[in-house]
Amino acid sequence: MEKAHKEIAIPELPLFKKGKVRDMYEVEDKILIVVSDRISAFDWVLPSLIPDKGKILTQLSMFWFEHISLVCPNHMITTKIDEFPESLQKYKAVLDKRSMLVKKIEVFPVECVVRGYLAGSGWKDYKETGITSGVKLPDGLKNSDRLDEPIFTPATKAEEGHDENISFKEMQKLIGSDLSNKIRDISIELYQKASLHAISKGIIIADTKFEFGLTDKEIILVDEIFTPDSSRFWPVSSYEPGGSQPSLDKQFVRDYLEGTDWDKASPPPELPSEIVNQTASRYMEIYRLLTDKDTL
């Protein structure tokens, strides 16, 4: 494991956007996404870094983009540094494995969440109202229960602050009903296709989040997909509805933070090294299980 990267500066490229985890640069009409080892939780970037996380997210997204390429076009152009423009070759060492050249896309302001199991804010909404994102669910479901059919539960993509679950009707109002219907159907199909692969590796994808954009009237899948930052991954072997599940994803960090006295309104605390190490191991473990690869 090499040292963790807080940010990846490329002074000669115009910055397109600095997200919580990704540093994005403009490369002609394209974007270079460089994934740092930053980790966010409860809408805060934590002061601690998770070694190799940026590589894991990039390699796993690439694996999935290839796996689902027949379902929907995606933004990936290449992750091979040799295929990046000549001016970037001197950054090879820092960019290696953690960067992807992508098409620049106008992203819809909607987080497209698919849930096959009831967890997180889906479970919280259901407990309070029986409904999540406008979807009425059967009575008597337990925490982490499998749903009969995967459901599409969009959320707003807030520029600042917390994303909020919205109903499908509200999504239709935001981006139109034709696009919303298509995006919902694609999202469910992506979830089903990836779940089949994951289950063959002993992993349940409890829920996941996509982002989409539009070029020339074509819907394009962007951002990261089926990573431990964007999905809940539960080992089948320990799955037992009725409570929260052991998971190979960011939930481990959220659970740790929930157990501290941090108020989520002021800057978050450092993670103890034990939590950093365990998070790094979980991220590597899910990468290994899903891709059958031992190295990044």
Nearest approach, Cβ of residue 209 and ligand ADP (Å): 10
Nearer to ligand ADP, 19 or 134 (CB): 19
State which amino acid sits at residue 32. Answer: L
Nearer to ligand ADP, 22 or 55 (CB): 22
Instruction: Give the binding range for ligand ADP (CB under 6 A) out of 13-21, 124-132, 197-205, 265-273.
Output: 13-21
Nearer to ligand ADP, 6 or 20 (CB): 20
Q: What is the dihedral of CA 77, 81, 83, 87, to 10 degrees?
A: 110
For the beta carbon of residue 235, count every other beta carbon within 10 angstroms: 17
Query: Cα–Cα distance between 60 and 296 in angstroms, integer?
Result: 9
Q: What is the dihedral of CA 205, 208, 213, 216, to 10 degrees?
A: 20
From the list 5, 8, 10, 22, which residue makes contact with ligand ADP (rule: CB under 6 A)?
Answer: 22
CB 54 within 8 A of CB 283: no
Question: Considering the rule CB under 6 A, would residue 37 count as an interface residue with ligand ADP?
Answer: no
Name residues contacting ligand ADP, limited to 194-253 (CB under 6 A): 211, 222-223
Instruction: Give the binding range for ligand ADP (CB under 6 A) out of 104-112, 161-169, 251-259, 278-286.
Output: 104-112
Query: Cα–Cα distance between 150 and 207 in angstroms, integer?
Result: 9
* Neighbour-count burial for 74-95, b at 16+ CB within 10 Å, e otherwise: bbbbebebeebeeebeebeeeb
Nearer to ligand ADP, 161 or 242 (CB): 161
Nearer to ligand ADP, 56 or 135 (CB): 56
Closest CA to 101 of 28, 52, 40: 28
Fill in the per-residue mask, 72 to 101: x = in contact with ligand ADP (CB under 6 A), - = not in contact.
---x--------------------------
Q: Which residues bind ligand ADP (CB under 6 A)?
A: 17, 19-22, 24, 31, 75, 102-105, 107, 211, 222-223
